Structure 1
């Protein structure tokens, strides 16, 4: 699942590795999602160490005796020096350069202190591989609390595509959207995608 809303999401600021907490609306979305997720058995959970993902997982697991583990491999992509600036401002050169991440991903060039889409694919893929190969996790139901780009990278891998050019073919997952996947043989198969357990309409986010 993707984390709940933050103030930076609301203001459309580049978030990346900036450790921005949930806002009250984001906590509300997480609570509504927790009610819907009660129907599913969860044996253990993994979360990005960033607060917005971890708090989302903690809200969802509240009152349930389920262990929660942090994993650096599922934190959000790093945008380096782009973090904190507007996603939609078209008056500055650096803002236009960043917007390629969403609008022309194949030609997106990260700053020197940032991470590439290929690197994101590599570390999230390593995380999924570790789940696949774990005998301890066989027949377990896992919750993974992560971020928009990190979640998209994992889902793209499950779809069998590591294309950078078409990275956002299925758009950015809405806040607190849930996808269910099952491990079949040597890979994951997506069973249901983009499940929303709250009543509010949270639209797919795009940089425009």
Structure 2
């Protein structure tokens, strides 16, 4: 019998670095009070989903969000949280902690664009990540190949750790990670859309394939 999975992908709640518009990849900061409220609201929206497993990145902001979501759940409040580096946000290298507009405008201008909005309109998430690594003075930022290698490994491990023929999985992760997952498995992905804090995207896995069911809700 084919294995099927409903994968609920949630972005973490708003953090202080989000609030201050700072680049936050491997850098981490706690949820704001408003961030906690919207994480709880997301949890209420998922309260009747019986999760079989829960995954997060190893960043505090995703773990904190997952805990708040599970506290609202009618079935799964005591589930263990599997923290995985594979689901960590992209590494922005020496741009970590920089004001977002300053960092993205530098990346855009280094690659022939006047504004970051113009760059986002004209390039895929893959191209933009490659530009980021190129613009990082130390070239420590992850490019698309480096990120997808670890992310794909995490998704494959999630599937291989299946415990029954049909499961509901919660994955609390980050904006760029969600962009990469959605753009990989959907032809309708729009690069300019903001991934909202505590938004829920749903994918269905069956016949060895992921399919996007809903996005950024």
- TM-score where L is the length of structure 1: 0.80
Return the match for 1:53 from 38, 41, 62.
62
In structure 2, what is the Cα distance between the partners aligned to 1:10 and 1:44?
30
2:41 is equivalent to residue 32 of structure 1? yes
Could you say what secondary structure the match of 2:215 adopts? strand
Residue 73 of structure 1 is matched in structure 2 by 86
Residue 153 of structure 2 is matched in structure 1 by 126
Aligned 8 A contact 1:128 1:154 in 2? no
* Higher RCO, 1 vs 2 (CA within 8 Å, ≥6 residues apart): 2
Could you say what secondary structure the match of 2:65 adopts? helix
2:166 is equivalent to residue 139 of structure 1? yes
Q: 1:170 to 1:66 in 2, by over 3 A?
A: farther
Structure 1: runs of 5 or more not aligned: 162-166, 196-208
Deviation at 1:80, TM superposition (A): 1.2
2:32 is equivalent to residue 23 of structure 1? yes
Aligned 8 A contact 1:6 1:23 in 2? yes
Return the match for 2:199 from 177, 183, 186.
177
Deviation at 1:173, TM superposition (A): 1.3
Residue 182 of structure 2 is matched in structure 1 by 155
Kindly report the root-mean-square deviation, in angstroms, between the aligned alpha carbons of the 2 structures.
2.8
Aligned 8 A contact 2:51 2:169 in 1? yes
Count of matched residue positions in the alignment of Structure 1 and Structure 2: 190
Aligned 8 A contact 1:125 1:157 in 2? no
Q: 1:93 to 1:175 in 2, by over 3 A?
A: closer
In structure 2, what is the Cα distance between the partners aligned to 1:141 and 1:16?
27
Residue 200 of structure 1 is matched in structure 2 by none
Aligned 8 A contact 1:131 1:137 in 2? no
Kindly provide the CA deviation profile for residues 70-106 of structure 1, in whole angstroms up to 9, marking residues without a partner as x. 010001000111011111138x857855975973552
